[in-house]
Amino acid sequence: MSARNPDTKAEILRIGKQFIQFYGYNAFSYADIARELNVKNAAVHYHFRGKEDLLMALIDNYIENYQLLAKQLQHSKITAIGKLEKFIEPYSCLCESDSICIIGSIASDYNTLPESVKAKISALIDLVMGMVEQTLAEGKKHGELHFSETARTQALLIMTNLAAGVQLARISGKKDYTIIRKALIKQLKG
Amino acid sequence: MSARNPDTKAEILRIGKQFIQFYGYNAFSYADIARELNVKNAAVHYHFRGKEDLLMALIDNYIENYQLLAKQLQHSKITAIGKLEKFIEPYSCLCESDSICIIGSIASDYNTLPESVKAKISALIDLVMGMVEQTLAEGKKHGELHFSETARTQALLIMTNLAAGVQLARISGKKDYTIIRKALIKQLKG
DNA sequence: GTCTATATTCCGATAGAC
DNA sequence: GTCTATCGGAATATAGAC
């Protein structure tokens, strides 16, 4: 049975991410992941010693992906609104699959997590917020985007609209998320 | 030991609410509640057969309280902005105690809950959203509040700012919540 | 790298005494 | 109304075979 699937580790991360977004961090077990991948829970423990280690690796993945996106956006000529769409699109995808963003999900379980994870999720938020803030500032400078608050405040308003928007949509319907997304963009375009 | 504390039921609800807001629904047990109240977990099961029943009762409480608030506001002469403060204040309190609102907390665990609870939480959201929407509409009609969206859309924007605002504050600091709250009110006052 | 098997702990829940 | 006692089950985790 050795090395039957060299990508099990990546698969575990994929399923773990899905479960956190769909059920919540404290609502799934290694057995759930194992069942999904047709392996035993011992195999999951082999790749990630404990659930916290899996969560850490997952957040690391997010950080890497956003750092990659940051580099791509830096050397591209797309408009500020185009860049913003890059930040909004993941939320729209989550909404479609009745899932919520990993930060919102983890926020609920935050006080049950070890300090190491808390610090990591904080770093992820700083990274994303910084990127959105910068995009907003650029768009405003070029006259492409319109808002009266500071870029940082506006970023906070937009990201909380999106995060809670997908949470609300899960309960009261996807239409509410769509209303929020469209209103956001409309206001930014002035 | 009989009837030693006639208010145990209310105490269980109080602690349960606290735990949901602080740790999340799937992260605390009846044993945790029992420990806090210095009773045994069997006593908790006596008052609420299962965890879902406790959650249902808790949401019922919220609905009753908001219905009460609705009646109070209806016959009062306070301004629209004053009414809005009534909706915002609970979020500020939650933020102070590193807690998040029950709807945001439950949203994370939503896909692990039975249909009965899902319907109940949906009713709570309808109630609160309706009240906020009405308050916004009144304030706009009287020239007291200013916003370009429909009252319903504006209510969605505000409530998602608040809900995710307390979630974010838990991770990145209370200052972010304060920024959001002040920006909201400033914009509404035009 | 994955398995079987097992240890431990905890959880939700109930029966029956007081 | 609360207790003791206990059950079945699930979760986290590890040892050791393959």
Q: What DSSP string describes B13-78? A: HHHHHHHHHHT-GGG--HHHHHHHHTS-HHHHHHHSSSHHHHHHHHHHHHHHHHHHHHHHHHT---
pLDDT value of residue B75: 86
pLDDT value of residue A43: 97
The answer to whether B178 contacts chain A (CB < 8 Å) is: no
| Cβ atoms < 10 Å from Cβ of B147 | 18
Higher pLDDT, A4 or A93: A93
**What proportion of chain A, given as a percentage, has pLDDT over 70?**
98
**Domain count along chain B:** 2
Q: How confident is the model at residue B61 (pLDDT cuts 50, 70, 90)?
A: very high
Residues contacting A12, CB < 8 A, separation 6+: A33, A37, A44, A47, A48, A54
Q: Nearest by CB to A24, which of B26, B100, B172?
A: B26
Domain, as residue range, for A25: 1-49
What CATH number is associated with residue A178?
Answer: 1.10.357.10
Residues B125 and B61 placed together within one structural domain of the fold? yes
The pTM for the full model equals 0.97
Residue A13, min C-alpha distance to chain B (Å): 19
Give the distance, in angstroms, between residue A33 CA and nucleotide D15 C1': 22
Lowest mean pLDDT among A42-51, A71-80, A115-124: A71-80
Residues A139 and A80 placed together within one structural domain of the fold? yes
Tokens linked to B124: 């709570």
**Three-state secondary structure of A124-186:** HHHHHHHHHHHHHHHHHHCCCCCCCCCHHHHHHHHHHHHHHHHHHHHHHCHHHHHHHHHHHHH
Mean pLDDT of all residues in A108-131: 98
Q: Is the CB of B112 under 7 A from strand C?
A: no
- Nucleotide nearest to A48 in CA–C1' terms: D13
Q: Which of A183, B49, B10 lies closest to B18 in space, CA to CA? A: B10
Task: Count how many Cα atoms sit within 13 Å of the Cα of residue A162 in the half-sphere of its side chain.
Answer: 25
pLDDT value of residue A75: 86
pLDDT value of residue B4: 63
Mean pLDDT of all residues in B31-48: 98
Measured distance CA(B104)–CA(B185) in Å, rounded: 21
DSSP letter at B6 equals T
pLDDT tens figures, A173-185: 999 999 999 999 9
Higher pLDDT, B136 or A74: B136
Lowest mean pLDDT among A30-34, B1-5, B6-10, B157-161: B1-5
Residue B72, min C-alpha distance to chain A (Å): 26
Measured distance CA(B71)–CA(B12) in Å, rounded: 27
Give the distance, in angstroms, between residue A2 CA and nucleotide D14 C1': 20
**What proportion of chain B, given as a percentage, has pLDDT over 90?**
96
Q: Are B179 and A153 a contacting pair at CB < 8 A?
A: yes
Q: Which residues of chain B make contact with A109, given a CB cutoff of 8 A? A: 23-24, 27, 108
pLDDT tens figures, A24-52: 999 999 999 999 999 999 999 999 999 99
The answer to whether A88 contacts chain B (CB < 8 Å) is: no
Grouping H, G, I as helix, E, B as strand and the rest as coil, residue A108 is: helix
Measured distance CA(A127)–CA(B105) in Å, rounded: 24
Nearest CA in chain B to A118: B171
Whether the per-residue pLDDT at A91 is higher than 90: the answer is yes
The answer to whether A123 contacts chain B (CB < 8 Å) is: no
DSSP letter at B148 equals S
Q: Which residues of chain A make contact with B172, given a CB cutoff of 8 A? A: 122, 125-126, 129
What CATH number is associated with residue A14?
Answer: 1.10.10.60
Looking up tokens 């269980």, which residue turns up?
B12
Nucleotides of D under 7 A from a protein CB: 1-5, 10-16, 18
Whether the per-residue pLDDT at A2 is higher than 80: the answer is no
Nucleotides of C under 7 A from a protein CB: 1-5, 10-16, 18
Residues B75 and B94 placed together within one structural domain of the fold? yes
Instruction: Kindly give the residue spans of alpha helices, DSSP state H, lying in A23-150.
Output: 30-37, 41-47, 51-74, 80-96, 102-109, 115-141
pLDDT value of residue B163: 99
pLDDT tens figures, B68-79: 999 999 989 999
Q: Nearest by CB to A22, which of B98, B111, B122?
A: B111
Do residues A184 and B158 make contact, with C-beta atoms less than 8 angstroms apart? no
Whether the per-residue pLDDT at A189 is higher than 70: the answer is yes
Cα angle at B46 between B41 and B52, to 5 degrees? 85
Residues B78 and B25 placed together within one structural domain of the fold? no
Residues B157 and B168 placed together within one structural domain of the fold? yes
Residue to mutate among B32, B59, B111, B187, with most A CBs inside 10 A, is B111
Backbone angles phi and psi of A172, in degrees to 5: -100, 0
Whether the per-residue pLDDT at B5 is higher than 90: the answer is no
Tokens linked to A161: 């609209």
The answer to whether A52 contacts chain B (CB < 8 Å) is: no
Mean pLDDT of all residues in A58-86: 96
Residues A153 and A91 placed together within one structural domain of the fold? yes
pLDDT value of residue B106: 98
* Average confidence score pLDDT of chain B: 96
Residues A21 and A91 placed together within one structural domain of the fold? no
Do residues A125 and B171 make contact, with C-beta atoms less than 8 angstroms apart? yes
Residues B42 and B71 placed together within one structural domain of the fold? no
Give the distance, in angstroms, between residue A35 CA and nucleotide C8 C1': 22
Residues A143 and A126 placed together within one structural domain of the fold? yes
Grouping H, G, I as helix, E, B as strand and the rest as coil, residue A114 is: coil
How many pairs of residues across A and B have Cβ atoms under 8 Å apart? 147
Residues A56 and A122 placed together within one structural domain of the fold? yes
Mean pLDDT of all residues in B82-87: 98
Residues B81 and B19 placed together within one structural domain of the fold? no
